[in-house]
Amino acid sequence: MSGLTLALSKGRIFEETLPLLAAAGIVPAEDPETSRKLVLATSRPDVRIVIVRASDVPTYVERGAADLGVAGRDVLLEHGGANLYQPVDLGIARCRLMVAVPARFDYRLAVQQGARLRVATKYVRCAREHFAAKGVHVDLIKLYGSMELAPLVGLADAIVDLVSSGNTLKANHLEAVEEIMPISARLVVNQAALKLQRARLVPVIDAIAAAVPAARAKAA
């Protein structure tokens, strides 16, 4: 392939990446929310966008099916992402990975007493590292979504999930009790493509990186 393929997920990543792409002269020809197409042409004949699940972006880029992509730090940490070049923190799709419990559950006391906690999460890897570093014993329960439900039905004592406004926790009578890490989305680039497509890739990476401060100021 002589052109560039960019992997993006629908929703907040796509929306928040748009102004950064525009700075690199890349404007998608269609909106993935309304079109059902998975391959989108752009204003640049040498750049196309593929629409994939957020958690699949590292796989597409690592294996060279896409030359570059945008993925959350959460997704990259869970995936591993060791073979991906990660040149730019885009500062978009910001949130925090947090431990949350039902309002009636005394997390600090349970930790102090050395209780074994049942923790439901999609972020098993990050959760395991966090609790191991704290010396807290946990049974991790892998879920693929709606973690907030788990404590409500007695499946878990706590959850590890992404929080942005906090409204989802509040609506389910949960409280954030600990921050594991701040999250934002990163630009990820295939390492072989960086060598073979250098002349095309580097100006795109540089233009995106240059647009980050303005996008951040707007989001703040």
Q: Which residues bind ligand PRT (CB under 6 A)?
A: 9, 11-13, 53-55, 72, 74-75, 93, 95, 161-168, 183, 185
CB of 130 to ligand PRT, least distance (A): 16
Closest CA to 88 of 100, 76, 80, 78: 76
Cβ closest to ligand PRT, residue 71 vs residue 201: 71
Beta strands in 84-203 (DSSP E): 84-89, 95-102, 117-121, 138-142, 158-163, 174-183, 185-190
Cβ closest to ligand PRT, residue 67 vs residue 74: 74
Q: Sign (positive/negative) of CA torsion 131, 135, 141, 146?
A: negative
The β-bridge partners of 48 are 5, 41
Cβ closest to ligand PRT, residue 119 vs residue 162: 162
Cβ closest to ligand PRT, residue 75 vs residue 84: 75
Backbone angles phi, psi at 76, to 5 degrees: -65, -40
Cβ closest to ligand PRT, residue 126 vs residue 201: 126
Cβ closest to ligand PRT, residue 4 vs residue 147: 147
Angstrom distances, CA of residue 144 to CA of 18, 115, 120 = 27, 25, 10
Rg (CA), the chain: 19
CB of 212 to ligand PRT, least distance (A): 16
Cβ closest to ligand PRT, residue 13 vs residue 136: 13
Neighbours of 135 (CB within 10 A): 8
Give the full edge-to-edge strand order of the sheet including 158-163: 138-142, 117-121, 158-163, 95-102, 174-183
CA 12 distance to own-chain centroid: 10
Element housing 217 (H / E): helix 198-219
> What is the token pair recorded at 172?
């389910």
The residue number with the shortest CB distance to ligand PRT is 72
CB of 54 to ligand PRT, least distance (A): 3
